[in-house]
Structure 1
Amino acid sequence: MDKLIEKKRFSKKTIWIAAGLLLFVVVVAYGYSLSLTKVYKADADKVVFNKVLYGDFEDVVLLNASVIPLTSVIVSSPEGGTVAEIFTENGASVVKETPLLRIANPNALSGYTSSETSITEQINQLRKLRLDLEQNQRIMSQDMMGIENSLRTATRKYNTDSILYSKKVITRQEFEISSQDYEYFQGRKKILKEAVKQENQSRIMQLKQIDVSINNMNESLQTIRQNIENMIIKAPVSGKLSSYDPVIGKSYGVNEMLGKIDVMQGYKLQASVDEYYVNRVKEGQTASCEFNGSTYQLVVKKVIPEITAGQFQVELGFENKSPLDLKRGLTLSVKLTLSDNSKSLLLSQGQFFQSTGGSWVFVVKDGKATKRNIKIGRKNFKYYEVMEGLQNGEEVITSSYDQFNQYDVIEISQ
C-alpha cells in the first residue's frame, strides 16, 4: 500500500532565497539612510568647544556708558537768521545772560520796527481819547454847576415873588415869569443830571476798555522789543558750552539748537543696550562701575524704550555723589544687575547663536558632533542659561556654524 507524503510548505531553497532578499533590502535601506545623513569633516583646531557647566548664573549685562552732565540746557535761536557776530567759543564757561552770538535778520527787524511804530500810534490815539473823555466830563460838570447856580437864583426869586404876589405887590404876570424860570431850571437840572449819569457810566466803561487795550498794546510792544533783543543770543543758565559751533554767515531757523550748556552740578551715565533686554531693564535696577580703582554704585534712572539700530538707551545716576575727576565724554564699563544670582546649567556664549538662535547645537561625543534641539533662557556677558536639551559636562561646539549648519553630523579630526 502506498504511503501519502505531505508536501512541505517552505523548502530550504525558498527560505534561503527569502533570507537573501531580506538581507539585500536591509543593506539597501542602510545605504539609503547613510545617503540622507549629511556628514561634514572638520579639523579640531578650527572649531571651538565648550563644556556645559553647572553653577551660579550671574544675571547681569555689561554696558559701555558715556559720562554726560546731570543737567544740560539747550541753547536755541528764538529768531531765525544768519550769524553776524560770535562772542564766545565752544567749551567756554559762561554765566547766565552772557552774550554768545548775534543773529541778523533784516526782514524781521524791519517788520518789528513797523509794528512798533503802528502800536505806538494806536496807544497815543487811545490816550488822546482818554483825555477827550476826561475833558467832556469837566465840561458837563461845569454845565451842571451853571444850572445849579441858575436854579438857586430862580428859586430865591420864585420864593420872594410868591410872597410879594400874595400881598398883591407884584402882578400875576411877573409872578408867572418867576415860576416859569424856576420850573425851567429844575427841568434842565433833572435832564442834565441824567445825562451826566449816563455819560459817567459810558465813560467808566470806555476808560476800562482803553486801559485794557493800552496794556495789551504795551505787552505787544514789550514782545516786539524782546524779539529784537533776542537777536543777541544769551546764556540761559550758568555752565559750560558744548556742541557749540557757529560760523559767521551760517543760517539758523526759528528755535533751532545752537548748542548746549552743561550745568556743572554732577554727572550721570548714558548707555546703549541691546534690544534683547528691552523688557528686562527697568527703572530702579542697580548697577556698578569702576573708576580710578574705586567701585561706584549706580541706579537706572530712565529707560528710553525706542529701538534704534537694534539698541535702546538708559540713563544711570550715581547713588552718591559722582567722582570728582569725571569728565564729559569718558566711557566707563558698567555692570547692570537684572536679577539675583541662581543655580543653572551654563553654556559659554559663541557665534553659533547667530546661526541657530539658540534652538539647537552640535553636541560632541567620541569624535563626532550631532545636532540636538535645546532651549536657552537668559544670557549674560559670558554665558547662556540652558533650560532643556543638555547635561552637565557635555561638550558643545560654540564657534560659528556658517560652514556646516546644513549638515547633520560633523566628524572631527585631530
Structure 2
Amino acid sequence: MDKKIEKKRFNKKTILMLVGGAIFVGLVAYGYSLSLNKVYKADPDKITINKVLYGDFEDVVLLNTSVVPLTSVIVSSPEGGTVAEIFTENGASVVKGTPLLRITNPNALSNYTSSETSIIEQINQLRKLRLDLEQNQRVMSQDMMEIENSLRTASRKYKIDSVLFSKKVITLQEFNISSQDYEYYQGRKKILREAVKQENQSRTMQLKQIDFSIGRMNESLETIRQNIENMTIKAPVAGRLSSYDPVTGKSYNANEMLGKIDVLQGYKLQAGVDEYYINRVKEGQSANCEFNGKTYRLTVKKVIPEVTAGQFQIELTFDGASPEGLRRGLSLQVKLTLSDNSKSLLLAQGQFFQSTGGSWAFVIKDGKATKRNIKIGRKNHLYYEVLEGLQKNEEVITSSYDQFNQYDIIEVSK
C-alpha cells in the first residue's frame, strides 16, 4: 500500500533563509544605531582623564595680586595750562610743599589780575565809607559838646536870674530871655541826643556790613592770589612720586591728573577676580599669602563690582603691619577663603567646562565614554564640586571637547 508522506515544516533551505534574514535585520539595526550614535575614536595620550574623588572641598580662590601703597594722593592742577618748568622727576621722594612743576595760562592770569584790581578798588571804597562814618561821628560828638556847654551856661544864667528876679533886681523881660535860652538848649540837647542815638545804631550796622564785605573780598583776593600761586604745582603730602611724566610745553586741563604721591605708611594688595565669583566675594572675608617664607593674613577691604574684561577688582589689607621688604609693583599669590571646608564629590578642573558649562560630561565605562548630565556647584583652584550625576571613582574626560563635541560616544583606545 502506498503511504502518505508528511511534508516537513522547516527544511534546511527554510532555516538558512531565516538565519540569513535575522543576520540582515541585525546588521540593519546595528547600522541604524551607529547612525544615531556618532562614535569618535580618541587617543588616550591626547585627552585628560580624571577620577571623581570624595574629600574636603576647600572653598578658596587663588588670586594674582599687585602690591600698591595703602594711600595714594593724586596730584593735579586746579587751573589748566601749559607746562613751563619741571622741578622734580618720577620716583623722587618729596615732602609736603615741594615744587613739582610750573604751568602757565596767560588768559587765566589776566583774568586774575583784573579781578584782583577790581576787588582792591572796592575794598578802598568801603574803607573810605568807613572813614566818612567815623568822621560824621566825630562831628556829631563835637556838636553835642557845644550844646552841652551852651546848656550849662544858660542853666547858670537862668539860676542867677531867677534869684535876681525874685529880689526884683532884674525885670521880667530879662528873666524871660534867660528862661527861654535855658529851655532852648535843653530842647536842642534832647533832639541831638536822639539823633546821635539813631546815627550810632545806623553806623554800627553799616560798619558790620562794611567789615563783612571787606572780609569776603579779602577772602576772594586770597583765593585769586592762591590760584596764581597754584600755577606752581606743589606736593600736597610727603611720599614718593609715581605715575608722573610731564612734558615741557604739554597742555593739561583743569583737575587733570599729573601724577600720584604714594604715602609710605604701608601697602595693600589689588586683584582682578573672575566674574564667576562676583556674588560670593564680600568685604571682611579672610585671605592669606606667603612672602619671604612667612604667611600673612589679609582681609578684603573693598569690592568694586564693575566688571571689565570678565573681571571685577578687590582690595585687601594686611591684618597688622605690612611685611618688611614689600615694594610697589611686586606680585603676590593670595588664597582667598570664601567659606568653610565641606565634604563633597570632587572633579579636577579642566577645559571641558568651557564646552559644556558644567551641565554634562563624557563619563568612561568599559573603554567608552558617553554623555551624562551632571550638576556642578562651587569651584576652587583645583576642583569642581559635583552635586549630581557622578559617583566616586568614576572616570571623566576633563580636557577640551572641541574635537568631539558633536559625537555621542568616545572610544578610548588603549
TM-score under structure 1 length normalisation: 0.91
Amino acid at match of 1:320: G
Partner of 2:196: 196
Amino acid at match of 1:339: S
Deviations along 1:266-304, whole A, 9 cap, x unmatched? Answer: 111111111111121122222222222222222222222
Q: Secondary structure at the match of 1:67?
A: strand
**Is 1:357 the counterpart of 2:392 in the alignment?**
no
Deviations along 1:294-323, whole A, 9 cap, x unmatched? Answer: 222222222222211111111112223222
Q: Secondary structure at the match of 2:41?
A: strand
Q: Secondary structure at the match of 2:245?
A: coil
Residue range with higher mean Cα deviation, 155-164 or 48-57: 155-164
Partner of 1:372: 372
Give the root-mean-square deviation of aligned CA atoms: 2.1
Q: Secondary structure at the match of 1:314?
A: strand
Tell me how far apart the structure 2 counterparts of residues 362 and 405 of structure 1 sit (CA, whole Å): 10
Moved over 3 A (4+): 22-34
Tell me how far apart the structure 2 counterparts of residues 359 and 380 of structure 1 sit (CA, whole Å): 18
Q: Secondary structure at the match of 1:35?
A: helix
Shift of 1:151: 1.2
Q: Closer, same or farther in 2 for the Cα pair 1:137/1:41, shift >3 Å?
A: same
Tell me how far apart the structure 2 counterparts of residues 201 and 43 of structure 1 sit (CA, whole Å): 106
**Is 1:240 the counterpart of 2:237 in the alignment?**
no
Tell me how far apart the structure 1 counterparts of residues 324 and 34 of structure 2 sit (CA, whole Å): 69
Partner of 1:278: 278
Tell me how far apart the structure 1 counterparts of residues 124 and 211 of structure 2 sit (CA, whole Å): 12
Tell me how far apart the structure 2 counterparts of residues 343 and 190 of structure 1 sit (CA, whole Å): 103
Shift of 1:34: 3.7
Partner of 2:216: 216
Deviations along 1:370-413, whole A, 9 cap, x unmatched? Answer: 00000111111111111110111111111111122222112233
Residue range with higher mean Cα deviation, 297-306 or 243-252: 297-306
Deviations along 1:88-133, whole A, 9 cap, x unmatched? Answer: 0000001111111111111111111111111111111111111111
Tell me how far apart the structure 2 counterparts of residues 207 and 320 of structure 1 sit (CA, whole Å): 58
Tell me how far apart the structure 2 counterparts of residues 158 and 26 of structure 1 sit (CA, whole Å): 156
Task: Output aligned runs, 1:22-171, within 5 Å.
Answer: 31-171=31-171
Deviations along 1:222-268, whole A, 9 cap, x unmatched? Answer: 11111111111111111100000011011111111111111111111
Residue range with higher mean Cα deviation, 85-94 or 36-45: 36-45
**Is 1:312 the counterpart of 2:312 in the alignment?**
yes
Deviations along 1:26-75, whole A, 9 cap, x unmatched? Answer: 87666544422222232222222111111221211111110111111111
Q: Which runs of 5+ in 1 are unaligned?
A: 1-10
- Aligned-residue sequence identity (percent) comes to 82
Residue range with higher mean Cα deviation, 196-205 or 263-272: 263-272
Tell me how far apart the structure 2 counterparts of residues 66 and 27 of structure 1 sit (CA, whole Å): 65
Partner of 1:409: 409
Q: Secondary structure at the match of 2:135?
A: helix
Partner of 2:291: 291
Tell me how far apart the structure 1 counterparts of residues 288 and 383 of structure 2 sit (CA, whole Å): 20
Tell me how far apart the structure 2 counterparts of residues 35 and 99 of structure 1 sit (CA, whole Å): 81
Tell me how far apart the structure 2 counterparts of residues 330 and 166 of structure 1 sit (CA, whole Å): 114
Q: Secondary structure at the match of 2:306?
A: strand
Tell me how far apart the structure 1 counterparts of residues 178 and 58 of structure 2 sit (CA, whole Å): 118
Shift of 1:352: 0.6
Partner of 1:264: 264
Partner of 1:4: none
Tell me how far apart the structure 1 counterparts of residues 250 and 324 of structure 2 sit (CA, whole Å): 37
Amino acid at match of 2:181: D
Partner of 1:381: 381
Q: Secondary structure at the match of 1:364?
A: strand
Shift of 1:161: 2.2
Residue range with higher mean Cα deviation, 26-35 or 149-158: 26-35
Q: Secondary structure at the match of 2:69?
A: strand
Deviations along 1:5-26, whole A, 9 cap, x unmatched? Answer: xxxxxx99xxx9xx99x97988
Tell me how far apart the structure 1 counterparts of residues 98 and 72 of structure 2 sit (CA, whole Å): 17
Amino acid at match of 1:390: L
Partner of 1:253: 253
Q: Which runs of 5+ in 2 are unaligned?
A: 1-8
Shift of 1:85: 0.6
